A = this chain, B = another copy of it.
Amino acid sequence: MERPELPLPQLHAFVVLAEELHFGHAAARLGIAQPPLSQQIRRLEDKVGHPLFRRDPGGAALTPAGRELLPAARRALTDLADALAAARAVGSGEAGRLRIGFSASLALTVLPGLLDTFRQRSPAVRLDVREMTSAPQVAALLERTVDVGLLREPPADEPRLRFRTVLTEPFVAVLPAHHPLAGRRTVRLERLADEPFVLLPREEGPQLYDRITGLCAGAGFTPAIAQHAVEWQTVCALVGAGLGVSLAPESIRRIRLRGVAFRRIEPGTARTRVAVAWRADDPDPLVHRLLEAVGDGHPAWNG
């Protein structure tokens, strides 16, 4: 690509003159006097090396060379004006694209409300929403394949990212419906000590995993993992099939499955955090718009 030879202001004058075919009128439309316009055109013609207009009494007319130049000049001007407007819209966060990763368990709780308020405020923004567990979200944020994450139990040792808590919720025990413990309103944690557990694999979300095993440790036992499943949906299904019990954030109660019971646990103080995550240095205004939406549009969700 070589350095541009034709200044845009001259091309602008050229296009307007080509439309008016009259130096006086064109100058008026450009908001300048007539002699400067003559100069602009002359300079442009000098650079092209050939006349672009025939001047005859009564007006001007394009030469073949001028006819050749006109469409490109017009296109370049409108293209640039459009692109500038688009770039400004993107820059100001009125338009663009935002890639959001989210944990599947949030698809039925915070996510819909969040997307809703955001879309209402920024209808021109395209949202790419992709389901992924916590650890991949962190990785995706760092390698910039995702702009915002919505995850559980944000890692504390990640200074390149920022987190903001969206909500906290208690844990519940997930039990087969026919299980003896399902007969009571609440379940004491230590009663699960001898039960086989069904959990997400630790790699998918180390923080949440450690949180859960930590709860068990607090109740004096180490859970025996009988089975892994990568989605809460599956965890519940396996519990319902009698493969074991589980501990889960309360919001997965939304997953209604035959043969599965959810019970509050005792002590009920332990809560799990759901947070939005973003790159600490990300200047993208869309990210900050989304954060506002998180702050304001408080989830119409209650347990």
Q: Which of A's residues lie within 8 Å of B, judged by CB?
A: 1-9, 11-12, 15-16, 30, 48-52, 54, 56, 63-69, 71-84, 86-88, 90-92, 96-97, 281, 283-284, 286
Report yes or no: A54 in contact with B283, Cβ–Cβ below 8 A. yes
- The residues of B that contact A63 with a CB separation of less than 8 Å are 91, 283-284
Residue of B nearest to A52 (CB): B87
The complex places the Cα of A68 from the Cα of B89 at a distance, in Å, of 10
Q: Which of B16, B50, B96 contacts A64 (CB 8 A)?
A: B96
- The residues of B that contact A97 with a CB separation of less than 8 Å are 64
- The residues of B that contact A8 with a CB separation of less than 8 Å are 4, 6-8
Report yes or no: A87 in contact with B75, Cβ–Cβ below 8 A. no
- The residues of B that contact A30 with a CB separation of less than 8 Å are 3
Report yes or no: A283 in contact with B83, Cβ–Cβ below 8 A. no
Q: Which of B2, B50, B78, B81 contacts A87 (CB 8 A)?
A: B50
Q: A-B pairs with the 3 shortest C-beta distances?
A: A50-B91, A72-B83, A65-B91
- The residues of B that contact A80 with a CB separation of less than 8 Å are 4, 6, 11, 72-73, 76
The complex places the Cα of A279 from the Cα of B86 at a distance, in Å, of 48
Report yes or no: A12 in contact with B6, Cβ–Cβ below 8 A. no
The complex places the Cα of A87 from the Cα of B81 at a distance, in Å, of 23
The complex places the Cα of A65 from the Cα of B91 at a distance, in Å, of 5
The complex places the Cα of A78 from the Cα of B76 at a distance, in Å, of 9
- The residues of B that contact A48 with a CB separation of less than 8 Å are 84, 87-88, 91
Residue of B nearest to A47 (CB): B84
Instruction: Write 21 A-B pairs (CB below 8 A) sorted by A numbering.
Output: A1-B74, A1-B81, A2-B81, A4-B8, A48-B87, A51-B283, A63-B91, A64-B97, A65-B88, A65-B90, A66-B87, A68-B83, A69-B87, A72-B79, A72-B80, A73-B80, A73-B83, A75-B79, A76-B79, A76-B80, A79-B79
Residue of B nearest to A98 (CB): B64
- The residues of B that contact A11 with a CB separation of less than 8 Å are 4, 80
Residue of B nearest to A29 (CB): B1
The complex places the Cα of A270 from the Cα of B98 at a distance, in Å, of 87
Q: Closest CB of chain B to A157's CB: distance in Å?
A: 21
Q: Closest CB of chain B to A185's CB: distance in Å?
A: 51
- The residues of B that contact A71 with a CB separation of less than 8 Å are 83
- The residues of B that contact A15 with a CB separation of less than 8 Å are 1
Q: Closest CB of chain B to A76's CB: distance in Å?
A: 4
Find the residue from A54, A82, A84 having the highest chain B CB count within 10 A: A84
Report yes or no: A16 in contact with B1, Cβ–Cβ below 8 A. yes
Residue of B nearest to A85 (CB): B68
The complex places the Cα of A3 from the Cα of B56 at a distance, in Å, of 27
The complex places the Cα of A4 from the Cα of B80 at a distance, in Å, of 8
Report yes or no: A9 in contact with B3, Cβ–Cβ below 8 A. yes
